[in-house]
Structure 1
Amino acid sequence: MSNSHAVAFYITVSIIAFATSKIVISVLLYRRWKRKRKVYADSIKGGKMVMFRSPMMQSVTPESFLKKTMKLSNNDIIGSGGGTVYKLTVNDSTAFAVKRLYRGTVDRDRGFERELEAMGDLKHRNIVNLHGYYTAPNYNLLIYELMPNGSLDTILHGRSMDKKHLDWPSRYKIAVGAARGISYLHHDCIPHIIHRDIKSSNILLDQNMEARVSDFGLATLMEPDKTHVSTIVAGTFGYLPPEYFDTGRATAKGDVYSFGVVLLELLTGKKPSDEAFLEEGTKLVTWVKTVVEDKREVLVLDSSLDSCPNDEISSVFNIALMCLEPEPSKRPTMAEVVKMLEQTKIQINCRGEDC
């Protein structure tokens, strides 16, 4: 066999082997996908239900689940965030949060696709679990784990009947949990996930008051070798990093800035869009920075946090200000934020009093 024929033969064999391996991998991935998901075609409404296999979903059939969603009403609404969120009770021991997203606009459909793309295989104790989804011609449904204590925003800023007194150990625990969840998105997921809408209403609380990051409707996936993703400005006023308006670039450091605002909410008990700030022509970040730089943190600390460990409070204020540096390169990464928060220990006892 001549050299040219031998080369051609080896190239052909290599191509066939490569193609065969791709087919085998695709088949294996599809089988893995099928093992993890239960698919049900709704012939009446022209939709498709996909349920991820988990202990919670074992006792639920797609048919019965869909029937219950059809009976949801305004009385079942528990929140909103890119869509209407309902509480769906399956039985005495099982309930879910169902987000309904009406179709018809490009932004809504993209939001649904982003949540699916970002949430499909996420498993972390500080990320809300996605249990399945339903697609139909007029709307989509996302089926989430129900968080019985609602959102941090509702507990801190909601109506009197919804508010709960959060002592300092609880707020500290929420801060650490939320930071771990965001750090997982930034550093442990491949591709990395930039949330782009970190705020107190997107930090939910489970039965143990453990923080869970939620709502991935604006999330952006970023390959590890990239530093940013160019996109339109999106997010929530008061939480957006200053550079976002100038560059239109979504970066992990933008999430760090938004988390810094959440830390200030936990410390001060005030919303970034508090009417008092608007009247004075300032904002939460500017107000706190001015006071903390003068070493007068006590003036901005939530008045319900009496007799708390001053050293720990001061440390968390400083971490928040690091996150809120105007220059993104000067902000810590979320992994560094987690480390700093974990190293911040309660050093002064409350002497038997509730913080």
Structure 2
Amino acid sequence: MKFPFFACFSSWSTEQNNINNDYGADGVNDGGFRSFTYNQLKSATNNFGDKIGQGGFGSVYKGRLMDGSFVAVKVLSIEIESMRGEREFVAELATLANIKHQNLVGLKGCCVEGANRYLVYDYMENNSLHHTFLGSEERRVRFSWQRRRDVSIGVARGLAFLHEEVMPHIVHRDIKAKNILIDRNFTPKLADFGLAKLMRDETSYISTRVAGTLGYLAPEYASSGQLRRKSDVYSFGVLLLQIISGLAVVDAYTDIERFIVEKAWTAYEANDLLRMVDPVLNTDYLEEEAIKFLKVGLLCVQETAKLRPRMSEVVQMLTNNNTDMKDVHISKPGFVADLRNIRIKKHMTTTSPQESSSSGELDMEGCYFQSPMDNVD
């Protein structure tokens, strides 16, 4: 089996000639994966002048290659002491270099020169779901019920592919609106695999480095470090509730029902789930289908992980018009109230939800989190 990302390190390797034989002198392999030079990327991005995004580990710039195709170039920031950034670079390559799916962002190539790390992706005309959909009523109006339905199902299919079709299975670990990219046809693409983990069997993975974003973070993973595919299912459930309601995942300005899962559960208990549907839709949707989508979201965020459906089951429920959700039993959801609830190896964080570093990230006692303020639109 060939590993295309080896070409990115070819300038260092003593096996340069062998690598060139595999990939060609221009660093292109049979699958179109390329090894770029820094000068190529600098020229393509006009000296990294058009910034289109900011992730946890670096900035993203729009570029145009010599063949006229547009790309997105992620410039990773490497922290020498912790090697953060380097780990994420390798994780992205290991995850995306050898798999393709219509709901995964396409990785075109990479560049390694000295301490610099660059990843080159297909360009997504509509940026991220967070950028295009959330944040204002004007943006949300662009997302009809049909578009929200298609995006939700596309994300579910991408996750089902990672969880059940790819071997070893892949857990994304940071499913959220910012990591769902939207192409020109509004097809959703899962992106940012820097925190992804390969799962070689059905057992869970115990991590001393909990990673994710408050609001989307599965409670059992946050409290014990026990990572399983159902951790991603929880995050998807939160995202689904967000897509249907248009609400922020965490409302920093409210003490009561601060989290979207709390609001959805209260509406469910009151037998009034329709109040969760985004009002900008102006009732231009099928009520029965909207209720079904919200119930699926609540099924995914149940506190007990084993009660959550598998992603293939989620796809089936969302796409099958004959799915009957009237008598489905949904148990109480779980959520991480604040970072002080997160423990890893008997270490407790002491930073409050309102505190964050200048980069919007928290890195404490072997844990990595996005600031909760990252989700306030």
CA distance in 2, matches of 1:213, 1:96: 16
Q: CA RMSD in A?
A: 3.0
CA distance in 2, matches of 1:76, 1:50: 25
SS of residue in 2 equivalent to 1:282: coil
Moved more, 88-97 or 332-341: 88-97
Check whether the contact 2:27–2:36 (CA below 8 A) recurs between aligned residues. no
Counterparts in 2 of 1:58-207, with a 5 A limit? 65-68=40-43, 71-73=46-48, 75-81=49-55, 82-90=57-65, 93-105=68-80, 106-158=83-135, 165-207=142-184
SS of residue in 2 equivalent to 1:280: coil
Q: CA deviation at 1:113?
A: 1.2
CA distance in 1, matches of 2:251, 2:215: 10
Name the CA shift for 1:34/1:261 in 2 (closer, same or farther; >3 Å): closer
Q: CA deviation at 1:107?
A: 1.8
Question: Match of 2:317, as an amino acid?
Answer: M
Q: What is the TM-score of this pair, normalised by structure 1?
A: 0.78
Moved more, 114-123 or 92-101: 92-101
CA distance in 1, matches of 2:149, 2:128: 16
Name which one, 1 or 2, has greater alpha-carbon Rg: 1
Moved more, 130-139 or 120-129: 130-139
Q: CA deviation at 1:224?
A: 2.3
SS of residue in 1 equivalent to 2:277: coil
Map of 1:243 onto structure 2:
220
Q: CA deviation at 1:53?
A: 4.6
Q: CA deviation at 1:247?
A: 1.2
Q: How many residues align?
A: 309
CA distance in 1, matches of 2:274, 2:42: 53
CA distance in 1, matches of 2:32, 2:175: 29
Check whether the contact 1:196–1:255 (CA below 8 A) recurs between aligned residues. yes
- Structure 1 residues 259-309: Cα deviation after superposition (integer angstroms, max 9, x where no partner): 000001111101112334x44363110111111221212222111112210
Q: Are 1:300 and 2:276 matched, yes or no?
A: yes
Question: Match of 1:273, as an amino acid?
Answer: V
Q: CA deviation at 1:239?
A: 0.2
- Structure 1 residues 30-87: Cα deviation after superposition (integer angstroms, max 9, x where no partner): xx557996886399xxxx9955555697xx98586244157433x4110111210000
Question: Match of 2:50, as an amino acid?
Answer: D
Check whether the contact 2:37–2:113 (CA below 8 A) recurs between aligned residues. no
Q: CA deviation at 1:91?
A: 5.4
CA distance in 1, matches of 2:202, 2:157: 22
CA distance in 2, matches of 1:51, 1:39: 13
Question: Match of 1:236, as an amino acid?
Answer: T
Q: What is the TM-score of this pair, normalised by structure 2?
A: 0.74
SS of residue in 2 equivalent to 1:263: helix
Map of 1:266 onto structure 2:
243
Question: Match of 2:40, as an amino acid?
Answer: F
CA distance in 2, matches of 1:167, 1:245: 34
Moved more, 169-178 or 245-254: 245-254
Question: Match of 2:259, as an amino acid?
Answer: K
Map of 2:11 onto structure 1:
41
CA distance in 1, matches of 2:29, 2:139: 32
Name the CA shift for 1:181/1:34 in 2 (closer, same or farther; >3 Å): closer
Name the CA shift for 1:140/1:146 in 2 (closer, same or farther; >3 Å): same
Aligned to 2:307, which of 300, 321, 330? 330
Check whether the contact 1:186–1:193 (CA below 8 A) recurs between aligned residues. yes
Name the CA shift for 1:137/1:325 in 2 (closer, same or farther; >3 Å): same
Structure with a larger share of its residues in helix? 1
CA distance in 2, matches of 1:42, 1:79: 30
CA distance in 2, matches of 1:226, 1:72: 46
Question: Match of 1:325, as an amino acid?
Answer: Q
SS of residue in 1 equivalent to 2:120: strand
Name the CA shift for 1:77/1:126 in 2 (closer, same or farther; >3 Å): same
Unaligned runs of 5+ in 1: 1-28, 347-355
Check whether the contact 1:100–1:140 (CA below 8 A) recurs between aligned residues. yes
Map of 1:233 onto structure 2:
210
Unaligned runs of 5+ in 2: 14-19, 21-25, 324-377
Check whether the contact 1:233–1:244 (CA below 8 A) recurs between aligned residues. yes
Question: Match of 1:90, as an amino acid?
Answer: L
Q: Are 1:290 and 2:270 matched, yes or no?
A: no
- Structure 1 residues 138-171: Cα deviation after superposition (integer angstroms, max 9, x where no partner): 3200011111111111122246786661000000
Name the CA shift for 1:61/1:121 in 2 (closer, same or farther; >3 Å): closer
Moved more, 101-110 or 260-269: 101-110
